[in-house]
Amino acid sequence: MKHLNKIAYIIVLCFLWQSSLHAQTIEKIAPGVWKVSFGTPEKFKPSEFKDAPALDAMKQLQDNEKPPFDLAEIKFKTIQRGCVAELTMDESEQIYGFGLQNNTFQQRGFRKEIRVNSWSTGNVGFSHAPVPFYVSTKGYGVLVNTSRYATFYCGTMRKATESVNIKEGGNASVASSTLDLYKPLEKPSNSMIIEVPFEKGMEIYVFEGPTTKEAIQRYNLYSGGGCMVPAWGLGVKYRGKGDYTDVKAEKLASYFRKNNMPCDMFGLEPGWHSVAYSCSFVWKPSLFPNPDRFIQRMDSMGFKLNLWEHAFTFPTSPLFDPLKDKSGDFSVWKGLVPDFVDPEARKIFGDYHEKTFINKGITAFKLDECDAADYKDAAAQWSFPEMSVFPSGIDGEQMHQLYGVLYQKTLLDVFNRQNKRTFFDVRSSQAFASPYPASLYSDMYDHREFVRMISNSGFSGLVWSPEIRETKSDADLIRRTQSGVLSAQLLFNSWYLNNPPWLQYDYEKNNRDEFLPNAKQLESQVRKLLELRMSLIPYLYSAFATYHFEGIPPFRALVVDFPNDSAVYKIDDEYLIGESLLAAPFIDGTSKRSVYFPAGTWYDFNTDQKYEGGKHYAIEMSLDQIPLFVKEGTILPLAKPIQYITPNTVFEITCHTYGNSCKPSTLFEDNSYTLDYQKDQFNKISLEWNGKKETVTKKGNYPGNSYNVVGWVKH
């Protein structure tokens, strides 16, 4: 922290606003990060639970030594409802972020309430991972360090003072429909008004750019750096039916191996618990009579086994008594709600998991139900209420907002201290979660929204998996699987399906074991896609390393890299993967769509057809073609597909070059099962081709070998 003191300086500003005297403190807290504090700070701020910032990496970014806008111009006030801040936007600024938003993308012109929920409610901002953070195309980011249900009025409100100058306009004509009558402001206002309820103060973090991308990088690095998932976490994840026995799970596992269907991770759903809603965290003897033997058998087939759970603790659980005095005053599904703000409660929960599961070979967990009951359903109030009281002093609202993050932290601490990598599924997250290796998922199932969520996840340090369950048709199955292949986690969540969806995608028939007549054909189409995913792992793994070390999200909207191209401002159905790939999924089984290419020349991954940037094209692809495009000048390392990853895996790499000469490309090499990369135990392998000569150069301290470059293909 010493070096921080050096750069930190404090300016106290006093100014008059709304006829009362208010002071705000402006402090530089890290390179390019400014904290503006007003009034009495909130006690349970997200920052209280965050990892240390990745300061060395932050120093690599250009630091302008001055904030991106005049921070003294932020107007604060406390009112009876809480605390309000007002910032001004330029006319042309576009706003993105607020976490895993599902049905809005460019956020200017919307009121967004940052409230965790298991389902969206209109487009008001509720989300599994609502993050009070936004970025602007003007090249800065703003985070409100709150665990309250904060509301951001992104240009939807005009102050009464603005009316004084308005002499013309108004609505002279009488509206002829309610739609017309209540239509949004023709032009959003320039005010960003933020309301934090209950609190008598606010803390705002401002992240410098100068570009949108660098503002995001700073946010991720300040959070601790992007997550490092194990290489096996980038393989295929399959979750079996909730009531599977050990025999059924093993049978399905051997189906994968016998039929050469790549799969790395196998997930058990609720049935493994002796009691599941709430959870006992004890194996059910009738379904899993010998868990140790089961874990060992799955492991011998190369599966990394993970367990579904939620934190609500059933009275018969061995965790119940130790957590009794460390839980909230409301129960959920008759279970305790552990107070994960209390380090002691986290330790009890974590130690139990370590002893009972992690030491026995369980590699990860699915942290379910940590968001909140669907707000729009008044009867299904399964979660704890906002009025809950917890021993640490946090209330139900704040706990809802932070529960996903605290839950991840509770179990991640164990993996970290064991020097093991993991990859969770989690249904909720919030601010500063970038370092957590966890992928968000949802019970919602709109393919279009799932793709938009990939674009949105990259604005706020989140990882998202558009899972595949049942589908409507062959085309829907294939297109959804393609979107899964082109996402951070490829997940088949068959928690209510007896058989894989490619054998039967109709839910009822699947559970009657009636297979599709063309099941084998679909299986082979899906196999090809799973193999493509395995081929992409080295590229994706490097993109995640860049996320960790530089803060650049591996999956991100086009606007992140092309903030000056106004044609991309609304594009939320295409996104970038790493530096060089552009995905443009086909939604709802279609085979035609319009694709916009940003600057550069782009190659169809399937056919090598070239497209010039700056234009829209009508693109048609058969179900055997993947909607993926490669930027000219790229060296794309593709691996020979394998079924699953082991600590001894060596990928056979073929470098695909696009164009007459290419930028060097990097493979990241380390022991992807441990955290030794934190001790400089890694290599960077530079792949180069200047149009004449191919070179492969390895630099670094890691003695192992995960890649073998076997060939070059010119496109």
Please report, as ranges, the residues that interact with ligand GAL according to CB under 6 A: 242, 269-270, 308, 368-369, 443, 493, 495
Q: Which residue type, as a one-letter code, is found at position 211? A: T
Pick between residue 507 and residue 515 the one whose CB is nearest to ligand GAL: 507
Per the structure block, which two tokens stand in for 165?
Answer: 């100058």
CB of 33 to ligand GAL, least distance (A): 35
Quote the least distance from Cβ 496 to ligand GAL, whole Å: 8
If one counts every other C-beta atom within 10 angstroms of the C-beta of residue 681, the result is: 17
The torsion angle over the Cα atoms of residues 310, 313, 317 and 318, rounded to 10 degrees, is 100
* Least Å from the CB of residue 289 to ligand GAL: 22
CA distance 264 to 246: 18
Are 533 and 231 a contacting pair, CB within 8 Å? no
Nearer to ligand GAL, 493 or 542 (CB): 493
Tell me whether residue 276 or residue 552 sits nearer to ligand GAL (CB atom). Answer: 276
Question: β-strand 82-88 against 304-309: which pairing, if any?
Answer: unpaired
Give least dist CB 241 to ligand GAL, A: 10
The answer to whether 628 and 686 have CB atoms below 8 angstroms apart is no
Determine the Cα angle at 215 with ends 212 and 218, to 5°. Answer: 150
Provide the 8-state DSSP code for 50: P
Residue 53 and residue 219: Cα distance in Å, rounded? Answer: 9
Task: Indicate the residue among 460 and 493 with the shorter CB distance to ligand GAL.
Answer: 493
How many CB atoms neighbour CB 492 within 10 A?
24
- Closer by beta carbon to ligand GAL, 468 or else 628: 468
Q: Taking the complex as a whole, how short is the minimal distance between the CB of residue 469 and ligand GAL, in angstroms?
A: 8
| DSSP alpha helix (H) spans, 486-567 | 507-511, 519-550, 558-561
* Residues forming beta bridges with residue 142, ordered by sequence position: 134, 206
Q: What's the min distance (Å) between Cβ of 123 and ligand GAL?
A: 22
Strands 601-604 and 628-631: antiparallel
CA–CA dist 633, 643 (Å, integer): 30
| Cβ closest to ligand GAL, residue 276 vs residue 568 | 276
Q: Which of 418, 443, 447, 449 is nearest to 428 (CA)?
A: 443
Q: Closest separation between CB of residue 443 and ligand GAL, Å?
A: 5
Based on CB atoms, which residue is closest to ligand GAL, 278 or 546? 278
Q: What gap in Å lies between CA 452 and CA 102, rounded to an integer?
A: 6
Contact in structure between 632 and 579 (CB atoms under 8 Å): no
Nearer to ligand GAL, 86 or 368 (CB): 368
In angstroms, the CA 348 to CA 5 distance is 36
Is-contact 157 482, C-beta < 8 A? no
- Residue whose CB is less far from ligand GAL, 249 or 619: 249
- Find, among 137, 135, 117, the residue nearest to 127 by Cα: 117
Q: Starting from the edge strand earliest in sequence, which strands make up the sheet with 665-670, in order?
A: 665-670, 682-689, 694-700
Least distance in angstroms from the C-beta of 649 to ligand GAL = 29
The residue sitting closest to ligand GAL, measured at its beta carbon, is 495
Q: Work out how close the CB of 367 gets to ligand GAL at its nearest, in angstroms, rounded to a whole number.
A: 10
> How crowded is the C-beta side of 362, counted as CA atoms within 13 Å?
24
- Between 317 and 493, name the residue whose CB sits nearer to ligand GAL: 493
Task: Give min distance, CB of 500 to ligand GAL, in A.
Answer: 16
Please state the closest distance from residue 242 (CB atom) to ligand GAL, in A: 6
d(C-alpha 118, C-alpha 516), whole Å? 33
- Identify which of residues 334 and 570 has a Cβ nearer to ligand GAL in the complex: 334
From the CB of 382, what's the least distance to ligand GAL, in Å?
Answer: 10
Eight-state DSSP code of residue 322: H
- Number of Cα atoms under 13 Å in the Cβ half of residue 108: 21
What token pair was written down for 49? 């639970």
CA distance 255 to 18: 70
Give least dist CB 117 to ligand GAL, A: 13
Name which of 189 and 493 has its Cβ closer to ligand GAL.
Answer: 493
Output the smallest distance, CB 487 to ligand GAL, in A: 16
Burial of 359 per CB tally in 10 Å (0-12, 13-18, 19+): exposed
Contacts of 415 (CB under 8 A, 6+ apart): 358, 421, 422
* 425: nearest Cα among 483, 365, 354: 365
Phi-psi region of 659 (alpha: psi -120 to 50; beta: other; left: phi over 0): left
CB of 129 to ligand GAL, least distance (A): 14
- CA gap 627, 143 in Å, rounded: 34
* Amino acid identity at 708: N
Which one, 242 or 361, has the nearer CB to ligand GAL?
Answer: 242
As a whole number of angstroms, the distance between CA 618 and CA 597 comes to 11
What order do you get walking across the sheet with 75-79 strand by strand?
75-79, 82-88, 191-197, 151-154, 111-113
Looking at beta carbons only, is 424 or 495 nearer to ligand GAL?
495
Q: How far is the CB of 264 from ligand GAL (least distance, A)?
A: 19
- Residue ranges of E strands in 585-693: 592-597, 601-604, 610-612, 615-620, 628-631, 635-639, 651-657, 665-670, 682-689
Tell me how far, at minimum, the Cβ of 368 lies from ligand GAL, in Å: 5
Closer to ligand GAL at the Cβ: 44 or 308? 308
Nearer to ligand GAL, 369 or 579 (CB): 369
Nearer to ligand GAL, 110 or 450 (CB): 450
Tell me which DSSP letter residue 304 carries.
E
